[in-house]
Structures are given as structure tokens and as C-alpha cells.
Structure 1
Amino acid sequence: MNGRLAGRKERGARGEAEAAAYLQKQGMSIIARNWSCRTGEIDLVAEEEGILVFVEVRTRNLNATYGTPQESVNARKQWKMIETARVYIHRHGRHESQIRFDVVSIRMASDGELTELTHIRNALG
């Protein structure tokens, strides 16, 4: 694995850990991390007051020129999240659960320091 990819994976894992810690401080329970199936992966599956929450975590460098982390959750990614959430609901018998899709946007400095965390509830509608 080249250094750039390893750095990106490490940054992504750190961002997911920061997001999980933040959501737990907000009173959410983390049910699963990196849950995957044939349609894709959900970074975090959480529960808040009986609502099943599917969370996409996007982590970027502070000086990234590719836009904000939340802007990278495009229509294709949203479709994949919805399809993957459907599989999760089916496999876990959560058909009666209320659901929500959130995005946690994280920016980090080049030294790995967390500089900004934004939690967007109901990000997909």
C-alpha cells in the first residue's frame, strides 16, 4: 500500500473514531462500525431515542482543495447508503424502526489534529 493511500485510510479511521466518540457524547448508542454487505458499507450504525441512524463519516485535510467533506456525499453515495441501509434493516429485522441518515463532516490539520466536526442530521432528506 502506498503512503498516500495508507495516510488516507488512517485519517478515515481516525475520523470515524472521532465521530463515534462525538455521537456517544450526544447520547447516541453505536450499534455497528463499518457494517458492510454487497451493496456497500455504512460507517456507523447508531441508535438515538429508538431511531436507527445510519451515519456517513467524511474526513478531509483542512487544506483540501476538493470541497468540504459533506459535499463529497454525492447522489451515487446517497443511493448506496440507502440500499445498504435496506439490507441492514432486512438482516436485523428492524422493519418497524424509524430511520435517519446523518453525515459527520470532519476536517483535520496535516498533523492529524481535529480542527472541525460538523454533524448534519437528516442529511439525505
Structure 2
Amino acid sequence: MTARQPLRGKKNATGQRGEEIAASRLASAGYAILNRNWRCRSGELDLVAEHRGVIVFVEVRTRTSGGRFGTAAESVDYRKQLRVRSVAEVYLHRYGYAGVPVRFDVAAITLDRNTSEALEYRHIESAF
């Protein structure tokens, strides 16, 4: 067992908690969640939703309070955007969504380090 395993488990739990919060908030706002953690060889899509006839790919970024690595929204860099777009193309092709309007959003969540409750939730539409 390496020293990194407990950290990896906490990181995964933080990410999963953020995805749960984002999916719940999006559903409350009228989004139909089509897929969570959809995977293919190219990568993974956190959330795929449909809202008013638009397929919405939502990149969920979660941080805990007091973190040292910037905000959740800041962590969606250009390289990550390219990866999400590439995986989204595979998704659209696989499910026959040719010609359907699409959008790329970011759900940025800050959790309380001790309670894992959402301190901040930002849904950035058309983030990239």
C-alpha cells in the first residue's frame, strides 16, 4: 500500500460528491440527466444532460475549502476542454445526435472540508 492511496480515495470521494450535487441541482433546474461518468477509450464525460433541446456536456470540478490549487472553475484548462470536446464527439456519434445543438458547461463546486456540504455552486453555461 502506498502513501497515495488514502489521498486518491479522498479525491475520488470529493469528485463523486460534487457530481451528485451538480446532477441534483441540474435536475432541479429542469435538465434531464442522460448519463453520468460516460466513458470511452478517449476519456470520460462527467454529466451529459438535455435541456430545451440542447445536449449539454457538463464538466464537474470540485474543490474543498482552504485548498491551495485555485478555484474549481479555474481548473478547466484548454487541454481539458479539448479532451471533453473530443469525447463529446464520440458520444454524439455513438448515440446518433448529428445536427443536434450542443453546449459545454462547467459546474464548479466548493465543499466544506469537514462536512462535505456545498459552500459554493456555480453553473457556468457555455463555458467553452
Residue 126 of structure 2 is matched in structure 1 by 122
Distance, in Å, in 2 between the alignment partners of 1:110 and 1:62 is: 5
1:43 maps to 46
Q: Which runs of 4+ in 1 moved over 3 A?
A: none
Cα deviation, residue 101, structure 1: 0.2
Aligned to 1:11: 14
CA RMSD of aligned residues (A): 0.8
Which residue type is aligned with residue 7 of structure 1? K
The residue number in structure 2 matching 1:30 is: 33
- Residue 53 of structure 2 aligns to which amino acid in structure 1? G
Distance in 2, matches of 1:110 and 1:77, equals 25
* Letter aligned with residue 4 of structure 1: L
Partner of 1:69: 72
Q: Which runs of 5+ in 2 are unaligned?
A: none
Q: Please state how far the C-alpha of 1:113 moved relative to its aligned partner.
A: 1.6
Using structure 1 for the length normalisation, give the TM-score. 0.97
Identity between Structure 1 and Structure 2 (%): 44
Deviations 1:79-101 (A, max 9, x none): 00000000000000001210000
1:6 is matched by which residue type in structure 2? G
Query: Helix, strand or coil: the match of 2:98?
Result: coil
Where do 5+ consecutive residues of structure 1 fail to align? none
Aligned-pair distance for 1:2? 1.6
Q: Distance in 2 between matches of 1:69 and 1:104?
A: 8
Q: State how many pairs are aligned.
A: 124
Q: 1:78 corresponds to which letter in structure 2?
A: Q
Q: CA deviation at 1:48?
A: 0.2
Q: Does 1:55 align with 2:48?
A: no
Q: For the residues of structure 2 that align with 1:22 and 1:88, how far apart are their CA atoms?
A: 23
Tell me which moved more, 51-60 or 106-115: 106-115
TM-score, normalised by the number of residues in structure 2: 0.94
